[in-house]
Chains A and B, each alone.
Chain A
Amino acid sequence: MLELASIWKPEVQQQNYRSILEAMSRPGRIQNITFSQSDSDAMTAILATLLDGEVSLSDPDKLLNIDDWPMLQATKAEPDCADYIVCKGSSSPDFEPKQGTLSSPEYSATLLLQVESLTSGSSKIRLQGPGIETSEEVSISGLSDDWLTRREDWVYAFPLGVDMILVAQDMILALPRTTRLEVI
């Protein structure tokens, strides 16, 4: 019978959805993503969970496996107009993601950045805002400072903004638009 990698199965996607939801509700706290090492990775597992045929995806750094595109069903788009954008955290953004409109702030982009580590590294950031009791501190490696600088502009006019998910190995950490960042 048909062999389907685990990340395409509803039970695994439900687990991963829960992790993404938890990450978004508690910015800065690391959550784990479930997938099988042999045939996929965390980034694809997140996309498999979040995407369907009605959204668009951009992959300017070519991080995704070409065979996964028809599985994800999302339409290909330029970063400036994509609903989801997958990028290398070490590169610098050279686009302006969608930030939504005042009447429909949900028509904004979700950025998924592939980084090296979420547990140690030179970028030390303090997070504050909804979902964080006082403050959280995280150390990240493989994330260009430019992302955080540009993010300041992107999330300036709340409720407009972008939401970010950082991905390393099987770990994710979310920076929703409501989170205030301070490099320390």
Chain B
Amino acid sequence: MGYVAIKGGRDAIEGSKTAFDFLRTQQAENEQPLQAGAIENQLRLLHSRVISEGGLYHPELASLAIKQAQGDSLEAAFILRAHRSTVPRIAETEALDTSKMRVTRRISSAFKDIPGGQMLGAATDYHLRLFKMELLNESPEAFRAVSKQWMDELDLDTIPDSFPKVVEVLRNENLLAPIKQSRHDQVPFDITREPLVLPLPRSAALATMARGEQGGLLSIAYSNMRGYGDIHPTVAELRVGYVPVMLPHPITGKPMEVGEVQVTECEVVAMYEEQDGKPMFTLGYGACFGHNEVKAISMAILDRALQKGEQHGPSHPSEDAEFVLLHVDGIDSMGFCSHYKMPHYVTFQSDMDRLRTTQDKQAQEEAK
């Protein structure tokens, strides 16, 4: 019954794949195919989004995924995630921190004068949302102009290699609780190997949100910001930059740099509470691959909301670990959504049978 109808789809499926590619290439006469490098640079933030949601820091494959998925960020992240599941795990780093980050942007909305200073880096925060019509017909000369003069007349010697963290300043002033050794020594939860079964440790929440879907994280965090919650965050620090990835050299045993990953990191300071007998600010933490500020801030707010929910019991959706963690993964949620497009002919037939039986019964009863 249901299955018979599915069988005839083979040619149609092949045709559909070709149609998908036709739409990508239909202007082949006048246009150049997209190169991986162009996607990584000119569609930098889409690329960042895919690399973080895919959970695999592979800039070249992330570009390919975007090209192949024709810009669908969910689909592209899915391709990247599918690839990672086929590759063996061969190493694990020691816990890296971002104090060694090669920073390209660093701001604080808590203090003006943060040690090391504030650097806006590349951001859209101060853009006028007015069209730059000249980009519609950008000449190669205009395209090269900025990078050509980028290094002119700059004194770079005063720029340090790395920057201290703002939260450490707050901690030194006794406004934040000291770091507990028991937390420091925990073995993190590996979401790529273990299913998410509640209750979950915070490390599982951080890992899940780090590769969570930006829109999902934002919408739940926004519910908290707007009123279904009371985190009232202040951004202690938001930084973007490159973190060197270190592994031991097989011969000398000392750490060597195998490469670097771009990371966005955010700490939010939230309402103070009594901690170990003393009122202290509370903190939320967000971090992810690539340059994704809205994601990192949303994650930091949700981290704090989830800590609160765990301590006092959730009073809002954003404080409920099950509600947040099981609904923010882009691949999970888009997969579930997309599966409704698959043939459900048999189950629906059964729904129809039941409806008709109920209608018949009602008709019989009315006839009595």
Contact = CB atoms under 8 A, between A and B. Distances in A.
Interface in A13-59: 52-54
Contacts, number: 6
Contacts of A53: 88-90
Interface residues of B, number: 3
Interface in B67-90: 88-90
A44 to B, nearest CB: 19
Nearest to B193: A54
Contacts of B89: 53-54
Contacts of A52: 88
Nearest to B90: A53
A61 to B, nearest CB: 29
SS class, residues of chain B in contact with chain A: strand
Interface residues of A, number: 3
A53 B89 CA distance: 8
Contacts of B88: 52-54
A158 to B, nearest CB: 25
A52 B88 CA distance: 9
B86 to A, nearest CB: 14
Interface in B276-327: none
Nearest to A52: B88
Nearest to B250: A70
Interface string B79-108: 000000000111000000000000000000
Nearest to B92: A53
A164 to B, nearest CB: 26
B232 to A, nearest CB: 44
Contacts of B90: 53
A155 to B, nearest CB: 28
A53 B90 CA distance: 7
A91 B88 CA distance: 35
B197 to A, nearest CB: 13
A26 to B, nearest CB: 28
Nearest to A73: B90
Interface string B142-174: 000000000000000000000000000000000
A79 B88 CA distance: 25
B28 to A, nearest CB: 37
A54 B89 CA distance: 8
A53 B92 CA distance: 11
Interface string A46-84: 000000111000000000000000000000000000000
6 contacts: A52-B88, A53-B88, A53-B89, A53-B90, A54-B88, A54-B89
Q: Nearest 3 CB-CB pairs, A to B? A: A53-B90, A52-B88, A54-B89
